[in-house]
Amino acid sequence: MKDIKIFSGRANPELASRICQYLGLPMGKIALGDFPDGEISCKIEEDIRGRDVFLIQPTGPPVNNNLMELLIMIESCKRASAERVTAVMPYYGYARQDRKDEGRVPITAKLVANLITRAGADRVLTMDLHAAQIQGFFDVPVDHLYAAPVLNEHFLAHELTGDKIVIVSPDEGSIKRALGHVKRLGGRLAIVDKRRSSAEKTKQENIIGGPVEGKTVLMFDDIISTAGSICGAAEILQRNGAAEIHVAATHGVLCGPAAERLKDAPITSVVLTDTIPLAEEQLLPKITILSVSTLLGEGIKRIHRNESVSRLFD
C-alpha cells in the first residue's frame, strides 16, 4: 500500500479520517482555501508523482462548492503527475437530475459525470447512486458500493427481523432496494403509492401489500432531502396501524425543513450513514449515524490492488 495516497476535500474530512484509520494510512497533505473573491485555492503539499491517488469528496450541500473543489483537486493531482486519480464520492450530487422528464430540461447528472471525467479522474468510487444507470454516464470505470450491509447489521443487532416486521418501499422506485432488505431481514414487503405533483411536492395515497397493522415497519430509501416524502409515508403507515416506524437512508441531505419534519413525524428512529456530515442542529435524538468508512476503505484497498470490488457483496 506504499504507493497509495489519500486526500480529503473539505466536504467530509471526518469520514476521510475514518477511512485512513481503517487502512492504517496517514492522510495526505493538501492545502485548500478560498481567495477573497470566492475562488478555491488548492496545493498538494507532498510528492505524488507515479502514485495511486484517492480523493475523498462527497458532493453534498453546498453542492456547487464541493463539486468545484473536487474538480480542482483532480486537476492538481493530474498536473502533479499522479499515476491514477480516483474520485471517491460517497454521495453523488445532482444524481436526481438523471433524465429528461419534460421538455427543455438538462440531464445534469450526465453533465457532472462529463466534468469529472474531463478534469482527469481515471475512476470513480461512489455509494448508493439515486439511479444505477448513472454509472453509464461516465467514460471511466465506476465502482458502485451499497450501504445495505451496514444498515441491515444495525437492525439485526436490534432484533428487528422476521415475521414481526414489514419492509416498506416509500415509492415504486425503491422496490428493488426494499426487496434486498427483505431477503436479508425477513418480513413482508409493502409499497407506498406516491404521486409527485412537482419537484418539491409529493402526495402519499395508499399502501400496497403489507398489512402493516400492529407491525414494526422498516422503511428504506437512498436519500432523505426535505423529508416530505418519508414523513408523508410515515403518516400513512401510522393511520394504517403500524406499531413502530423506523426509517433508514444512506444519504442524509436534510435540507430546508427536513429536521423539523422528522422531529414531528410519527417516526421512532432514523438511521443514516456518514456519507454527508450533519450540522449540530440536525442531530435529533431519534437520529443514529452509522459509518460506511469500512466499506469505502475496503473498496479503496481493492481498487488499489486490482481486486474485485463486487465480491464485497457476495
Cite the active site residues: 194
CA angle 60, 65, 70 (to 5 degrees): 80
**Phi, psi angles (nearest 5°) of residue 166:** -125, 125
Q: Closest Cα partner for 8 from 56, 60, 50?
A: 56
Q: Closest Cα partner for 204 from 178, 230, 238, 165?
A: 230
* 58 neighbors 275 (Cβ within 8 angstroms): yes
The gap between the terminal CA atoms of the chain, to the nearest Å, is 24
DSSP 39: -
Q: Closest Cα partner for 92 from 72, 63, 68?
A: 63
Helix (H) or strand (E) holding 138: none
Inter-CA distances, 132 with 91, 96, 285, Å: 13, 11, 32
Residues facing residue 123 across a β-bridge? 86
Interatomic CA distance for residues 90 and 71, integer angstroms: 15
Interatomic CA distance for residues 207 and 192, integer angstroms: 5
Interatomic CA distance for residues 209 and 116, integer angstroms: 42
Interatomic CA distance for residues 131 and 199, integer angstroms: 16
